[in-house]
Amino acid sequence: MPSPFGLDNKVAIVTGSSRGIGRSIAEHCAALGAKVVVSSRKADACEEVAAGIRGKGGEATVIPCNISRKPEVEALIDGTIKQYGGIDVLVCNAAVNPYYGPLAGISDEAFDKIMASNIKSNLWLCNLAIPNMVARGGGAVIIISSIGGIRGTEVLGAYGISKAADFALARNLACEWGPKNVRVNCVAPGLVKTDFARALWENEEMVKRRNAATPLRRIGMPDEIGGVAAFLAGPAASFITGQVIVADGGVTIS
C-alpha cells in the first residue's frame, strides 16, 4: 500500500516560499516526493531554497513572482506547466501586511493593497491553476490564512479581514470545483516565528502574555505549519475540502 502522505511525482507551486512558512511547505512537499516550484519576488532567495531541496535529493525549480501583478501570476502558472507538464498542488502562501494599527487610521492605498495581495491574487492563482488540475484528474489547493480571520484585534484588522475572506474563498471554490475532484482548504496558523511576524514575536511582553494564554505555552515554528499544508495536499486528506485547519497551539480555544 502506498503511503497516504506521499506526493510522488506531484507538481506543487508554493508562493512566498523563499522563507518562513512557505519555505517549510516547499521543503515538506519536496521531501514527500513532489516536484516543487519555489516562488517569491526575489529569485536569489528562491534559488537558495531550491538548491537546498535538490541537495537533499528532491526536485525544485524557481519561478519568481510578485503575486500582486497579474502578468507575473500568469507567467508563474504558464511556466510551471511548461516546466513540468501540469499542476497538482497549489499553495497560496504569499501575503502582505503594510499597516499595523486601528482600522480608523488605515489609508485607502494600504487597505486596497492588503485586499488585492491577500485575496484577489489567490483568486487569480486558483482560476488559472485549477482548470489544469481538472485536466489531470484533480488536485489540491491550500490557502495559508491566519487565526486573524477568526479573532478580532485592535491593530491587525485589515489583515484579519483579508484572512477571513480567504476562508470564504476556499469554501466557495471547494463547492465549485469539488465535482471535478479539486479540493480547496485553508490553514490558519497562530503566531509563528517567521520574519513576517517578527514585530509580534520580538515583543517579549506580548509573547509572554500569548504563551500564558496558549495551552501549549509557546508560539509555533514554520515546520509545524509546513507539515499541515503537505498533509492537505496528499491522499491522506482526500475527503477534506472547504475546511479551515487551525494550527495555533490551542490559543483560540482558551
Residues serving a catalytic function are 159
Find out whether 197 and 156 touch, Cβ atoms under 8 Å: no
Q: Which three cell numbers stand for residue 129?
A: 491553476
Cβ neighbours of 2 (radius 10 Å): 7
Range 100-107, long-range pairs (CB < 8 A, 24+ positions): 100/155, 100/156, 100/199, 101/155, 102/154, 102/155, 102/157, 103/157, 103/158, 106/157, 106/158
